[in-house]
Structure 1
Amino acid sequence: MDFRREWSRLRGAMLRWNNKVGWMEFPSLTISAGLTRTYTLAYKLTDNTAERWTSRFIRFKNKNHKAYYGGARLMYAAFPPLLEDMNLRPRDCVLVAALSSSETAADPTRQIPYIACQLAETVGAACAIDAITKQQHSRIHNLYKADQREAELDKANYVSSKLPASNVFVFDDFITRGGTLSRVAQAILATNPRSKVYGVALAKTERLLYCPNPDNGHVPARWDEIWAAGEAEVP
Structure 2
Amino acid sequence: MPPDFDVVGRLIRFNRLDVGDLRLLTVGFRITDQPGEKWTARFNQFKYGENAAVEAAARTFCGAFEGFRYGEDLRIAVVSAISSGHTTLDPRTPAARLGRALAQSRGWEWLPGLLSKTAHPSLSSMGSAANRDSTVDGVYSAAAISGEPGVVLVVDDFCTRGATLADIARAIRASNPDWRVRAASLAKTERADYWQGTLTNAHIPAVLDSAWRGVGRST
Question: How does the TM-score come out when normalised to structure 1?
Answer: 0.84
Matches within 5 A, 1:33-112: 33=21, 35=22, 37-82=23-68, 84=69, 86-89=70-73, 92-112=75-95
For residue 226 of structure 1, the aligned residue among 188, 211, 219 is 211
Residue of structure 1 equivalent to 2:176: 192
Residue of structure 2 equivalent to 1:18: 6
Q: Which amino acid aligns with 2:20?
A: S
Partners of 2:96 and 2:166 lie apart in 1 by: 18
Residues 81-126 of structure 1, C-alpha deviations (whole Å, 9 max, x = no match): 22x3x3343x510000011101111112323223322332332221
For residue 144 of structure 1, the aligned residue among 127, 145, 150 is 127
Partners of 1:206 and 1:17 lie apart in 2 by: 13
The answer for unaligned runs of 5 or more in structure 2 is: none
Matched, 1:204 2:188: yes
Quote the offset at 1:151 in angstroms.
2.4
CA contact (8 A) 1:162 1:191 kept: yes
Quote the offset at 1:144 in angstroms.
1.4
Q: Which portions of structure 1, spanning 4 or more consecutive aligned residues, are displaced by more than 4 angstroms?
A: none
CA contact (8 A) 1:160 1:188 kept: yes
CA contact (8 A) 1:15 1:29 kept: no
Quote the offset at 1:61 in angstroms.
0.7
The share of aligned pairs that are identical, in percent, is 31
The CA RMSD measured in Å over matched residues stands at: 1.7
Partners of 1:111 and 1:88 lie apart in 2 by: 29
Residue 171 of structure 2 aligns to a residue whose secondary structure is helix
Quote the offset at 1:15 in angstroms.
4.0
Q: Which amino acid aligns with 2:185?
A: A
Question: How does the TM-score come out when normalised to structure 2?
Answer: 0.90
Q: Which amino acid aligns with 1:132?
A: L
Q: Which amino acid aligns with 2:47?
A: K
CA contact (8 A) 2:6 2:13 kept: yes
Partners of 1:57 and 1:119 lie apart in 2 by: 17
The number of equivalent residue pairs is 212
Residue 129 of structure 1 aligns to a residue whose secondary structure is coil
Q: Which amino acid aligns with 1:59?
A: Q
Matched, 1:216 2:201: yes
Q: Which amino acid aligns with 2:204?
A: V
CA contact (8 A) 2:5 2:13 kept: yes
Residue of structure 2 equivalent to 1:134: 117
Instruction: Return 174-183 or 185-194, whichever deviates more.
Output: 185-194
Quote the offset at 1:139 in angstroms.
0.4
Residue of structure 1 equivalent to 2:19: 31
